[in-house]
Amino acid sequence: SRTSAGETIHEVTSASPSWKGFTNKDGTGLYHEILLRVFEPHKIRVVHTYTNAVRGIHLVSKDLVDFYTCRADVTDFQNLMLARHPMYEGQVHAFFNRQRIGKWQGMTSFTGKRVVWRRGYYKPSEFKAVFTMVEADSGILALSQVVYGRADFYVDDPNLISESVSKATFPFDMKDYGIVMVKTRTYHPVFKRSARGEQLMDLYD
């Protein structure tokens, strides 16, 4: 395939964390399968780099990879753009201590609380409440903040909350905790605003 500048593209590079079921390190998973179906008909090879969410976006903005999979928005980045079509539409859930929080009342339950999530995954503006935002370097660290009473809610994709719970090495009883759906959102690949980025995004869309 060629860009508008006439460059022949034989290979594209993508970046993301390793998410079970989406970007498995053996090359399987939803995102890998979609990218294969998008680019293989054009005889373009996809090479994936595993990194954290913050660094993945940085790699795209610095032209070190072609795109990041996936993100809900890029309003904070003038040189980046979201593809029109999402790769995934998922739910956002919250993990909390039932005794400390009481009955879930929707997003208003966040008001005045400490809400923790993985670094770079969410923004306070996505939620209809005023609260203190805390970012953690992993889901397990976010989970531990709630278990140890340093935060009130851990917000994440439900699959990632389950993964954090299963990998936690500190003691807690799940009967004491609740997990509720907060909202849904779509996740799109992120491209650089450039001739190459626009061409690749057109191929994807």
Distance CA 151, CA 173 (A): 17
Q: Are the CB atoms for 23 and 16 separated by under 8 Å?
A: yes
Please state, in angstroms and rounded to a whole number, the distance separating the CA atoms of residues 122 and 160: 14
Q: Per residue in 113-129, pLDDT tens?
A: 999 999 989 999 999 99
Q: Identity (one letter) of the amino acid at 95?
A: F
pLDDT, tens digit, 9 for 90 and up, residues 57-90: 999 999 999 999 999 999 889 999 999 999 999 9
Q: DSSP strand E in the chain: where?
A: 11-16, 45-50, 67-71, 80-82, 88-97, 114-118, 132-136, 153-156, 177-192
User: Which of the four pLDDT bands, split at 50, 70 and 90, describes residue 1?
Assistant: low
Beta bridge partners of residue 95, listed in sequence order? 154, 179
Chain mean pLDDT for the chain? 94
Quote the pTM value: 0.77
